[in-house]
Amino acid sequence: MLLSREVLRSDDVAEVDGNRTRQAEMLGLTGFEDRGDHQVPRHLHGTPYPRTLRHARRPTAYLRWRWGMTAGVDTIRLTQFAHGGGCACKIPPGELEEMVRGLTGVVDADLLVGLDEGDDAAAVRISDGLAVLATADFFTPVVDDAYDWGRIAAANALSDIYAMGGRPVLAVNLLGWPRDVLPLELAAEVLRGGLDVARLAGCPVAGGHSIDDPEPKYGMAVTGVADPGRLLRNDAGRAGLPLSLTKPLGVGVLNNRHKATGEVFPEAVASMVALNDVASRDALARGVTAATDVTGFGLLGHLYKLARASGVTAVVDAAAVPYLDGARASFAQGFVPGGSRRNLDWVRPQLDTTVPLDELLLLADAQTSGGLLVAGEIPGATVIGELVPRGEHVMRVR
């Protein structure tokens, strides 16, 4: 079977240009659509990859962990097939807010969380004591290893549910794949990674949707459930509460370095694939009402949204913020995602600070599958600041 844990054999895969339905069946993805009617742009045709991977039938077996890092005698680096990587390829927050300004949907009293404050997921009350949460998240490769990319993307999508105080109950895959450029075996490894992380979360994956895309993209749409009276929201912060961060920053600069050099940072991968489930449960157990996860808009961007929505000022102690090993050194060598600069540009008018620009850029580092930012204290999290009554600025960094 293609989804066996140990070995992926090309003899088990349908021909690259063969029947798509057969491929979907072999992936075990019931209901997984594939509408690959458009073609890869001409400039991508002929993109080099090992000749041995151009044909589905060959005797060589590849262990799961080798995909994306080593294929045959050559290397396929997935990050080189995309213009950006991970949550750093998000549309800049300022542009996004302008885009959706004035858009309103159906007014419904049971819609508890919608577009207003930029929360991590939508929430609708179904009955007393039950709310359904809905979110979708996908991005281009953030690492070269296909299996790890799948795991990271799944953890990132599931995090939106945890950031709202919910429990994921169903996920569907979202896949874009340049099928004339990259082998389908790699796509299977991406899906396998997502499936394994969803299994750890106790969340079934039931199909999804795929398209033929010039760039590889992967993520999930996730449905969750929560108590409507105990949601974690952007607008529920109160002055006097500490601010806690559950994962160190720095994956943005490390991923940028990985894309440029091919160096692998296992600590960054481990951080990105780690679920935020325990932190979410701990927050609820301690009566926390305000939280968000730290992803593409960086710590400063997501904190700005929370403080703005809550009508308070957020104060950050820059020296207290934790970073992954190698993050500062990588930043000093110039590995700074463009998304990080755009994040800082967005919040700068509402920021009061005397710390150096380099420190601010690190605080705005575009994260992928980052930790929870909680208005309160929970076990294992680092207190990095506090919420105070609203002053002249929405944020202060000291």
Question: Which are the catalytic amino acids?
Answer: 87
Residue 46's region, left for phi above 0, alpha for psi from -120 to 50, else beta, is left
Task: Return the bridge partners of 242, or none.
Answer: 386
If DSSP states are collapsed to H, E and C, what string results for 234-296? HHHCCCCCEEEECCCECHHHHHHHHHHHCCCCHHHHHHHHCCCHHHHHHHHHCCCCEEEECCC
Q: Outline where the chain has alpha helix (H).
A: 20-27, 93-100, 146-163, 184-200, 251-261, 266-273, 277-285, 298-310, 327-332, 338-347, 357-363
Token pair, residue 53, equals: 């991977």
Cβ atoms of 224 and 163 closer than 8 Å:
no
The strand pair at 351-353 and 395-397 is best described as: parallel
Residue 7 CB: number of other CB atoms within 10 A? 10
* Closest residue by Cα to residue 88 from 261, 298, 354: 298
Helix axes 277-285, 146-163, angle to 10 degrees: 10
Q: Which residue type does 20 have?
A: R
Contacts of 125 (CB under 8 A, 6+ apart): 110, 111, 112, 131, 228
How many residues are given for the chain? 398
User: What are the tokens at 72?
Assistant: 């045959």
| Widest CA span in the chain | 67
